[in-house]
């Protein structure tokens, strides 16, 4: 059975994120290798992963090499850093679908890079890393899947929705 996963803000090859988010890695290769290993633990090649933005930095060959090591069919919802490249560039990397706007999933949630304000649906997002929510967000309506707060493990969408909504997809 195909499983669906969500993850955000991997920032492959972005060494400054290590300091900014206190990731604690010794070098960028260690960071990348660790995230690849964590990704591939729950995800098989039969599964689908929604990447909620800021996938990776570096040149085409660098990003493509990491992408090819990751299990599953991958769908990108572009984040603020991903917009530095064209949608076509991300398709060439190998994403099966690239979205430049949030997407509503099964009328159960909306997936976006940045958290959305005043949204009626559950919002699964990234962007804020491990900085927490400010006062304009209602925590109960948001799920942050930035890698730093999910122990770098892609989250099973079915389990997330069941926990938050009592709903199975």
Residue of 107, 47, 110 whose CA lies nearest to 77? 110
Q: What pLDDT shows up at residue 137?
A: 65
CB 98 within 8 A of CB 90: yes
**How many domains does the chain contain in total?**
1
CATH number for the domain spanning 30: value is 3.60.21.10
Q: What pLDDT shows up at residue 135?
A: 65
Q: What pLDDT shows up at residue 54?
A: 97
Q: Which domain holds residue 71?
A: 4-165
Q: What pLDDT shows up at residue 159?
A: 94
Number of neighbouring beta carbons within 10 Å of residue 87: 15
Q: Which residue stretches of the chain are H helix?
A: 16-20, 28-40, 60-69, 87-93, 157-165
Q: What is the pTM of this model?
A: 0.94
Residue of 107, 129, 120, 139 whose CA lies nearest to 52? 129
List average pLDDT for each run of 10 residues in the chain, which is 169 residues long. Answer: 95 94 95 98 98 97 98 97 96 98 92 87 92 70 94 96 79
Output the DSSP codes for 7-25. EB---BT-THHHHHTT---
Q: What pLDDT shows up at residue 138?
A: 63
Q: What pLDDT shows up at residue 120?
A: 81
For the record, the structure tokens of 6 come out as 């969500």
Q: Is the dihedral of CA 68, 7, 149, 19 positive or negative?
A: positive
């Amino acid at each position: 059975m195909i499983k669906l996963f969500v993850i955000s803000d991997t920032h492959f090859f972005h060494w400054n994120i290590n300091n900014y988010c206190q990731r604690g890695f010794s070098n960028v290769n260690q960071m990348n290798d660790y995230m690849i290993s964590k990704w591939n633990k729950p995800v098989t090649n039969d599964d689908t992963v929604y990447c909620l933005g800021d996938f990776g930095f570096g040149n085409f060959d660098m990003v493509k090499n990491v992408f090819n090591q990751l299990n599953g069919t991958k769908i990108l919802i572009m984040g603020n850093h991903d917009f530095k490249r064209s949608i076509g560039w991300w398709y060439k990397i190998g994403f099966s679908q690239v979205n430049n706007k949030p997407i509503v999933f099964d009328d159960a949630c909306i997936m976006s890079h940045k958290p959305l304000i005043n949204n009626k649906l559950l919002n699964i997002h990234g962007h804020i890393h491990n900085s927490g929510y400010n006062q304009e967000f209602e925590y109960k309506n948001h799920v942050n899947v930035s890698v730093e707060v999910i122990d770098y493990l892609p989250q099973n969408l079915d389990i997330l929705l069941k926990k938050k909504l009592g709903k199975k997809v």
